[in-house]
Amino acid sequence: MGLATGSSSYFLFVAAVFFVYWALPQARLFRLSAILLANYYFCARFGLFYVLLIPACSTVDFLVGLGLMRARRNFLRRALVGVSILMNVALLVGSRHMGAVVGPHWDWIFPLGLSFYTFQALTYTLDLYRRDADGTDSLLAYLSAVSFFPTLLAGPITRVSDLISQMAKRKPLDRVEGGRALFLIALGLLKKTAIADLLAENLVNRVFDTPKLYGGAEVLLAVYAYSLQLYFDFSGYTDIARGCAQLLGIRLPLNFERPYASSNLTEFWRRWHISFSDWLRDYLYFALPGKRTKLMPYLNLVITMVLGGLWHGVTWTFAVWGLLHGSMLAITRAYLARRGRARTPGKGWRHALAVFGTYQFVCFTWIFFRAGSMSNAMDILGRIASLSTGLENVGMRFALAVALGAATFFVPKKWSTASVERFAACPFYVHAAALAAVAATLRYFGTSGNAAFVYSRF
């Protein structure tokens, strides 16, 4: 059985890693060895064969990196990076679509998807190929960084060269930094359990599974609630991952920045799943041909987003989701280029209208992202179009979760930043009391069982 992020067993594991890591001598060998053993123990809990598969693939990428650091001929460099790309793409497809490739009875082989591992691994070899980063001659350093356990299930996708650099330095973990880490973990748990899971189990899942049993108003509310569920679920995971890494003195990149406050789709993708957006931009969009022509940059946006959609699953719904986002991104870029204006409108009613319109479009596309099939998506849209009213299936806890989730987007950013710093500066017993309060809150608001994080299946 795996160590599900957010479960009690996962936090016991993190606590054990924390105490062992900081109790070891200062030598780099001990630090990296502790992280590597933690990484592979985490993988082994999903399947022992991961302890063979991941080190084998990582070693190949490490050797490719050594070759790229030394090779000067372009032909040889292209051949080396080609080996890394082919291996990682094969690993990505195999871990995500083994059942579709060789038959449904083989789905059990990959209980842990390796999408985020492959994205992270490719940052290293592609950066070295482009000469955008420095490599390492230490196999131990590379293995420790590329399979870093907080990022393995659902990111945030972190450049391996940055992780190697951070792991090479051991900065003492003071009380304030530890407080920030605990704040992130507590916040992530609250997001996941008190909002995301509650929304999913009290209406969203039932509506998307059987939309014809619900009125138009309830279905529309479920769509808006799903936008909140997905955000709080995924950003909650990211907060936990960042907090756990920070307990080891390692900073992971920010992955969400109030995305539903965006005034256009370009801004939305600079704020939503930032590490994935940056990966698509840096390693896919910029690699596509025709950037100097007038039409191809817009077409490349569509291609990039369709491929990004299909990464989530090879289905028509994900393809349509990617196509809608790619097309609107191209239209937005063309509009801004033609108008020659700043990327975001000024404050006031125009800005508010732009934010409102962008959010409506994003929620519309989430229907295809969440629906199990195109017919399911059409049923959702059909029920909304019926304009039937009635909210008999909307309970008080669900309404409170929606209100709480929506209200967080109106809290000034400086308030949330100040809250983190004030909490971090408090004595340890305040941290302990706050964590106990979070545990009590989760017990009251939490749903039955531990629902998996949405993006852990990608």
Q: Are 116 and 153 in contact (CB under 8 A)?
A: yes
Q: Where are the alpha helices (DSSP H) in 24-49?
A: 28-44
Rounded-to-integer distance, Cα 260 and Cα 240, Å: 21
In the residue annotation, 312 being an active-site residue is answered as yes
92 contacts 458 by C-beta, under 8 angstroms? no
Q: Closest by alpha carbon to 336, among 418, 252, 263?
A: 263
**Token duo for residue 219:** 């279905």
Angle, helices 428-445/413-425, rounded to nearest 10 degrees: 120
How far is residue 213's CA from residue 191's CA, in Å, rounded to a whole number?
29
Active site residue: 105, 273, 312, 351, which one? 312
Q: What is the C-alpha separation between 281 and 82, in angstroms, rounded?
A: 19
Give the sign of the dihedral formed by CA 249, CA 120, CA 285, CA 75: positive
SS3 at position 345: coil
Name the helix (H) or strand (E) containing 310: helix 296-312
Active site residues: 312
